[in-house]
Structure 1
C-alpha cells in the first residue's frame, strides 16, 4: 500500500492543547496522508456495524413468525437462519477488511512518527543534548509510539465501531419500545459522569507512568554506557539498587493507573448492566401483560446488550486513548522544540575551493554557554587565518579552545561578533554546506557499531573502498586494520570497545582525511597515541595539511612546534600570538607552559 502524500515534517505538527483528548489532534498531520485508506476502513466499519445491527431483526422475525401463534414454523425458521448466515458472512468479510486496513494504518503512522521524531532530534543543537537524557528520548521513540500504534491501529477503529453500535442500537431500541428506551437512556446518562471523571484521572496517571518508565530507561542507558567505570569502582550492586528503585517507582505508578482503570471498568459495567437489567425486568412484565411480543422483547434484549457492550468497550477504549494522549503530549513536546541554530531561508554559497584551503576570519567574538550566562567562554577574540595556514591553539584547560571549534561548526552562535569562512558569514551558509567544508578529529573519538570500512567511510559515504583504504594508510591505520580477524570488514564493537585508544583515534583521523575538507580541525588528535603511533600519525597529518587550512588544539606543545602560528588563549581571550621560538622569548603564558612540559 502506497502513501497518498509525503509524511509531514516535524514543524507541521500543530501546537498541542494540554487538556483532555484534544492532544490527539496533534496526530492528524501524520494521519492525513492516508485519508483514502481511512475512508476504505470506514466503509468496512459501516458494513460490519450494519451487519451487527441487522442480527436482532432476524431473531425477532424468527421468534414471532417461527414460534408465534399461527406461524409457518420450519419455513420461517429456515429463512431466518439463512438470513443470519448471509449477515454473518458479510460481517466476517467487513471485519477482516477493517482489521487489515486499520492495522496497516497503525504501523504506517507509527513508522512516520518515529521517523519524524528522530529526524527532528538529530537536527537539534548541542544545547538540547546538554540536558536531554538519551534513555528518555529512546523511550519516546519506542514506548510512546507503541501506545500511539495501539490507538491508531486498534482503539480508533474500536471506538468508531462501538459508537456506531451505540447510536444504531439506541435508535433501534426506540423503534422497538420508546417507553423502555426512554427509561434506559435516562439511566445510562448517569453512567457517563463517573466514566469521564475517572478517565481524566487515568490520563494523568498514564502520563506519570510513562515518565517513570522514561526515567528508568535514561538511568539504564547512562550506566550501560559507563559500565567499565561502574565495575572499576565496584558499584554494580549500588547501580542495580538504583535501577531497581527506579523500576519500583514506575511499577507503583503503573499499579495506580491499573487500579484506576479497573475501577473505571467495574463502575461502567455495574452501572450499565444494572440499568439494563432493570429495564428488561420492566419489559418482561410488558410481555406478560400483552403490550409486547416475545420477538420484540428478544430484539430489545439483543439491542440493549449491544448498547451495553458498546458502552463497556468505549470505556476500555477511553482508557487506551487517555494513555495515548499522554504519549502524544510527550512526543509533541519533543517535536515542538526548535533548535536555535538554523540554516538561513536563502543560504549563500561558498566560493569555489582553492588549492590552498579556506580563509578564516574571527571578529570580536563574545560567547557564553546558555547554561552559564554569567561566565564568558570567549571574549573579544579576533583572528585572521590565511588559506593553507596551520594555526595551533594552546592554553590552560577552560581557556576556550574547544569552544572556538564549536562556534566554527555552528553548534552554537556567538552572542556578539562574526565568523567568516572564505569571506562569507557562516550564519549566511546552509548548515550542510558549512559543515561539509570542515573536517574534525575530536578529542573524544566516536566509533560506530559497524565495521572498520564503514566507520572510515562515514567521512564521505560515497567513497570507494580504495579511497577508504588510502585514507587509512595516510592515518597509519591500515596496518592494524589488516591484522583484525576480518580486516576492514571486522566489527569494531559498540563505541569501538575492541580497539585501543590510539587505534580509535587513527580511525577518526582517517575519517576526517577521507572527507578531504578545506578546513581541518584537530582537537588533541594525537593525545591517545603511543610514541611510535604518534610519529606515524604526525607525519601523515603533516602531509594531509598540505592544501588545506588547519587549526590544532594541543596541550602537548611538542606537537605544535612546526605550526605557522601559535595562538595562546587564557580565560577566553587571546593573550599571545607568534611562532614557538618567539613565544618562548616573550617569557609569557606559553613560555611558562613550555617550561612545565619540557623541563619538569
Structure 2
C-alpha cells in the first residue's frame, strides 16, 4: 500500500489529546462515517419507537379506542423493522471499511517511520516492544473504535431517540431522564484517572513481555547448548507475573467501575417505575397506564444504553493509551534527516576523515577520537584492533548510521552531513558477520530490492560468489526457500549468498564486517576467493580479526582506544614490530 501524501506521519502526537489524534486518523473518512451514523439511526429506530407503539397499543386496549390504530401502529413498526437489514449493511460497510483503512494506514505509517528512525533508536528500543506497538497497539485502537461504534453509537442513538420521544409524549418526565447523563459523567470522571494509570502500566508490562519472548526465542540455541532452559524460563516467568499483577489490578478497577454503574442506574430505574406507577394510580401528571409501560421500557432501555457507555470506558481508555503508545514512535525525534539534502548520483569512492571524533551519549570517553585518514578510490583499507578500539564506529560513520560528534567525513570532496544518505547507500553494499536472510527463495534474498535482473546475470553472480555449486544441488535451485533467517543453510552458504547480494548490486563502496570470522577452513577459502572478486576496483572498508582476511589489504589501520596508532601494509607493519605485530603474534622474518 502506497503511503499517501497526507499520511498519519503528518501530525503532532506529543502533548495532544488522543481524541484529537483519532479524529485526525479518520479525517479521510468523515463523509463515510456520517453516512454510517445516519444508516445506524434508521436501522436502530425500532429500539426507541417500540415502547411508544407499545404504550399506544395498551391505551387502545384499556381505553377502547378505535382498533384501526392498532393496525397503523403495527404497520409502522414492521416497516421500520424491515429497514434494519439494508441499514445495518450500509452501516457495517461505512464503519468497518473506515476502521480497517485507518488500521492499515497507521501500521503503514509505523513501518515507514521505523525505516527512517536512526540506528541509535533501534539499538535502544527492543524489537519486541516495537512489534507490540505495530501489532497489539493498533489492534487495540481498532477494537476501541469498532466497539465504540457498535455499542457507543447504539447507546447514543437510543438516548437521543428516547429522550426525544419522552419530550414529545410526556415532557413532565424529561428531567428525570436527564439525570442519567450527569450521573454517567460523574462516575466516569471519578474512575478515569486510575483506569488510565493501570492501562498504561499493563501496556508497558505487555511490551516488556513481547521483548522478553523475542529475546528468549533468539537465544534458544545458546540456551539449549548450555542447559539453561530453567534460567531462560525464569526470566520470562518474572515478566509474566508482572503482567498478571498489572492485569488483575486493571480488572479490579474495571469491575468496580461496572458494578457501581449498574447499582446506581438500576436504583434509578426502580425509582422511576415506582414514581410513574404511583402517578398513574393517583391520576397525577396525566400519566396513563400505557405511559407507565412506556416509561418503564424506556428506563430499562436507557439503563442498558448508559450501562453500555459505562462499559466502554475501559475499552476507550485502553484504546487511547495505545494511541499515545503509537505516537511515541510516530513522533520519536531520533530520525535520520535526508529531505532537502544533496542527492548522490555517482560515487568515485574517496573518503577523507578530517579530525573526526564520535562519542555516544552518556559515554565516559569518545569511541573514535581525532581520526585523520584519507582513503583513495578503489583502495582496500582494513581496520584492526582490540574490542572497543573504535573499528565498528568507523564503519557506522562510513555507512552514515551515525555522524561525527566533531570533525567531518568527505565523500568525493563533499561533506556527508549535507548528503541524502539514502541515495548514497544505493552505491554501497555490506557483507556483515551475521548474514540476514528472510524466509524467501534464494532468488528473493539475493535480489532483495532489485528489479530487472535476469537469471543469467543472477547465475553468473552466484558463480562469482562461489555459491552456484551449492545452489544447483538444492531441490528447487534458485526457487528453494531458505527458511527463517536462512535456517536451512549452513553459515558458509549464507555468507556466500551475502557476497552474491553485494556483487549483484555492483557497489562503488563495500563494507566487510568480520565476514569470515565464524567459518571453517573450507568455507573461509571459498569466501576469500569470492571476496577477492568482490573488492576488485571498489573502495573497501574491512574489519576483521583473522590475519588471512586483512593481510592482502592495500592498507591496514591499527586502532587503540579510538585512535589510529599505526598504518601501512602488512609487510610494513610486521617489519616495524609494533602494535600490529603484537596483535597478531607475528614478527619479521
Short-chain TM bin: over 0.9
CA change 1:17–1:544 in 2 (3 A) is closer
Cα deviation, 1:233-287, whole Å, max 9, x if unaligned, reads 2121232233233223212222222222222222212211211221221111111
Q: Is the 8 A contact 1:176 1:300 kept in 2?
A: no
Does residue 39 (structure 1) correspond to residue 34 (structure 2)? The answer is yes
Counterpart Cα distance in 2 of 1:29 and 1:393: 50
Q: Which moved more, 1:533-542 or 1:468-477?
A: 533-542
- SS of 2:381 mapped into structure 1: strand
CA contact (8 A) 1:52 1:91 kept: no
The total of aligned residue pairs comes to: 587
| CA-to-aligned-CA distance 1:294-353 (integer Å, 9 cap, x gap) | 22222222322232221111111222111101111111112110224311x322233645
d(CA) in 2 for partners of 1:224 and 1:574? 39
Change (3 A) 1:377 1:462: farther
Which whole-Å CA distance do the structure 2 matches of 1:133 and 1:597 have between them?
A: 45
CA contact (8 A) 2:382 2:543 kept: yes
SS in 1 for 2:100: helix
Q: How far off is 1:24 after superposition? A: 2.9
Confirm whether residue 482 of structure 1 aligns to residue 480 of structure 2.
no
Deviates further, 529-538 or 322-331:
529-538
CA distance in 2, matches of 1:239, 1:189: 52
- Distance in 2 (CA, whole Å) between partners of 1:595 and 1:523 is 22
Report if the CA contact (8 A) 2:378-2:540 is conserved: yes
Alignment of 1:509-588 (within 5 A): 509-588=499-578
What does 1:107-118 correspond to in 2, within 5 Å? 107-118=100-111
**1:346–1:183 distance in 2 versus 1, CA, 3 Å:** closer
2-side partners of 1:174 and 1:15: how far apart?
42
Q: Is the 8 A contact 1:7 1:30 kept in 2?
A: no
Question: Is 1:350 matched with 2:344?
Answer: yes
Deviation per CA, 1:512-555, whole angstroms, max 9, x where unpaired? 11111111111222223333333333233222222321222222
Which of 417, 421, 426 is equivalent to 1:431?
421
Kept after mapping to 2: 8 A contact 1:184/1:276 = no
Task: Give the gaps of 5 or more residues in structure 2.
Answer: none
Report if aligned partners of 1:151, 1:324 keep a CA contact under 8 Å in 2.
yes
Match of 1:507 among 484, 491, 497: 497
Which of 460, 463, 482 is the matching residue for 2:453? 463
**Partners of 1:476 and 1:533 within 8 A in 2:** no
| 2:187 equivalent to 1:189 | no
SS in 1 for 2:382: strand
Kept in 2: contact 1:135–1:219 (CA 8 A): yes
The alignment status of 1:224 with 2:222, answered yes or no, reads no
For each residue in 1:8-47, what CA deviation from the matched residue of structure 2 results, as whole angstroms up to 9, or x when unmatched? 44532323447xxx32322233211222221221221232
Contact 2:13 2:330 in 1 (8 A): no
Structure 2 match to 1:447: 437
Partner of 2:357: 366
Kindly indicate whether the alpha-carbon contact (under 8 Å) linking 2:358 and 2:406 is maintained by their aligned counterparts in 1: yes
Cα distance, 1:213–1:503 mapped onto 2, change above 3 Å: same
In structure 2, the CA distance between the partners of 1:336 and 1:597, relative to structure 1 (3 Å rule), is: farther
| Contact 1:106–1:154 (Cα < 8 Å) also in 2 | no
Contact 1:7 1:112 in 2 (8 A): no
What is the deviation of 1:484?
Answer: 2.4
- Describe the SS at the equivalent of 1:393: strand
Shift, 1:181, TM fit: 3.1
CA offset digits 1:394-435 (Å, max 9, x no partner): 222221111111001111111011112222222222121121
Contact 1:584 1:590 (8 Å CA) reproduced? yes
Q: 2:581 touches 2:587 (CA, 8 Å); kept in 1? A: no
Counterpart Cα distance in 2 of 1:302 and 1:468 = 75
1:142 and 1:227, CA in 2 relative to 1: closer, same or farther beyond 3 A?
same
1:267 partner SS:
helix
Task: Name the structure 1 match of 2:402.
Answer: 412
**TM-score of the aligned structures, taking structure 2 as reference length:** 0.93
Cross-structure match for 2:370: 380
Please, which of 220, 233, 258 is the counterpart of residue 226 of structure 2? Answer: 233
Q: Is the 8 A contact 1:367 1:378 kept in 2?
A: yes
SS at match of 1:68: helix
Deviation, 1:378, is 0.8
* Structure 1 residue 381, shift from structure 2 partner: 0.8
Distance 1:40 1:186, change over 3 A: closer
Q: Which runs of 5+ in 1 are unaligned?
A: none
Give the structure 1 partner of residue 55 of structure 2. 60
Decide whether the 8 Å contact of 2:43 with 2:80 is kept in 1. no
The answer (yes or no) to whether the contact 2:575–2:588 under 8 Å persists in 1 is no
Correspondence 1:121 to 2:135: no
